[in-house]
């Protein structure tokens, strides 16, 4: 299968999700539309206009906000592409900004959270997650990495799958083939350490303490997060394969 990854920030690569895709023998096509960069020699860097030739779409995180759409011309083509994948019965996985964009593409509303969620924060899986193809048997209270300042109201047809007290919109499904995950399950260790530095820069603080804390957090939390990410991506790729057989 050929899986399209849209990177919306070069500091937010597909990481573990790409690793699992390649390990299972599938072909990833990675594009960076906000900079018009392609890591696939067969494709330009812009958002494709059609899902033709792809079996699934992963839309990753980014520092931009849908609330500033006028400054980011790639947002609307991505929105249209997400809907086109759904119409073609091809699965979509949105991560952080990608989850917000998925909600927006199906009639939800993105809004400011009013604060920044940062760090490995525990999930509260909702009853529907127990029967969800991707999230069934997820570890209770699993801490997963967060970094975002926006959230969303869900579309009317969405099924909420996870929540947190300070940010209820954590995971959802639309229909049977579209998932949005607010948390960053894709992160590998080098990216996490880079994020610690970037977060310190954002706060205008010395990076060393932030990096030291992230090293401790990685030792405590990252193994479980990576196992979870591999499981979720493996299951999502199974959904892609089932959808391909059914078309």
Q: What is the 3-state secondary structure (H, E, C) of 42-60?
A: CCCCCCCCCCCCCCEEEEC
Integer angstrom CA distances of residue 24 from 2, 13, 17, 194, 208: 12, 19, 11, 27, 37
Residue 81, CA distances (Å) to 50, 76, 139 in order: 6, 9, 32
- The pTM score is 0.97
In angstroms, the CA 136 to CA 96 distance is 20
- Kindly state the DSSP code that residue 116 receives in the 8-state scheme: E
pLDDT tens-digit map of 192-210: 999 999 999 999 999 999 9
Q: Which CATH class is domain 2-187+227-246?
A: alpha beta
Query: pLDDT tens, position by position, for the chain (247 residues)?
Result: 999 999 999 999 999 999 999 999 999 999 999 999 999 999 999 999 999 999 999 999 999 999 999 999 999 999 999 999 999 999 999 999 999 999 999 999 999 999 999 999 999 999 999 999 999 999 999 999 999 999 999 999 999 999 999 999 999 999 999 999 999 999 999 999 999 999 999 999 999 999 999 999 999 999 999 999 999 999 999 999 999 999 7
Rounded to an integer, what distance in angstroms lies between the CA atom of residue 58 and that of residue 106?
16
Instruction: Name the burial class of residue 198, with classes exposed (0-12), middle (13-18) and buried (19+) by CB atoms within 10 angstroms of its CB.
Output: middle
DSSP class of residue 216 equals H
Is the separation of the CB atoms in 69 and 110 below 8 Å?
Answer: no
Identify the pLDDT of residue 113: 96
Assign residue 105 a region (left: φ > 0; alpha: ψ between -120 and 50; beta: otherwise).
alpha
What are the residue ranges spanned by the domains of the chain?
2-187+227-246
Q: How far apart are CA 173 and CA 176, in angstroms?
A: 7
d(CA 200, CA 34): 24
85-125 pLDDT, tens digit each: 999 999 999 999 999 999 999 999 999 999 999 999 999 99
Closest of 190, 142, 191, 196 to residue 170, by C-alpha: 142
From CA 60, how far away is CA 38, in angstroms rounded? 15
Give the C-alpha distances (Å, rounded to integers) separating 171 from 10, 160, 179, 191: 23, 6, 7, 22
**Which 3 state secondary structure label does DSSP give 154?**
coil
């Amino acid at each position: 299968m050929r899986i399209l990854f849209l990177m919306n920030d070069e500091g937010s690569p597909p990481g573990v999700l790409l690793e699992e895709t390649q390990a299972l023998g599938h072909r990833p096509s990675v594009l960076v539309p906000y900079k018009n960069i392609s890591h696939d020699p067969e494709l330009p860097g812009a958002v494709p206009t059609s899902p033709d030739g792809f079996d699934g779409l992963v839309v990753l995180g980014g520092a931009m906000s849908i609330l500033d759409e006028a400054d980011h011309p790639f947002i609307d083509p991505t929105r249209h592409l997400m809907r086109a994948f759904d119409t073609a019965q091809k699965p979509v996985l949105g991560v952080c900004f990608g989850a917000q964009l998925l909600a927006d593409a199906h009639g939800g509303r993105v809004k400011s959270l009013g604060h920044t969620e940062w760090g490995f924060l525990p999930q509260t899986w909702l009853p529907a997650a127990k029967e969800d193809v991707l999230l069934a048997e997820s570890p209770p209270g699993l801490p997963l990495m967060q970094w975002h300042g926006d959230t969303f109201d869900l579309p009317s047809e969405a099924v909420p799958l996870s929540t947190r007290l300070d940010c209820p919109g954590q995971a959802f499904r639309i229909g049977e083939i579209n998932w949005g995950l607010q948390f960053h399950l894709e992160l590998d260790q080098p990216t996490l350490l880079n994020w610690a530095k970037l977060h310190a820069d954002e706060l205008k603080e010395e990076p060393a303490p932030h990096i030291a804390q992230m090293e401790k957090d990685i030792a405590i939390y990252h193994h479980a997060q990576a196992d979870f990410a591999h499981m979720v991506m493996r299951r999502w790729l199974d959904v892609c394969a089932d959808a391909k057989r059914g078309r």
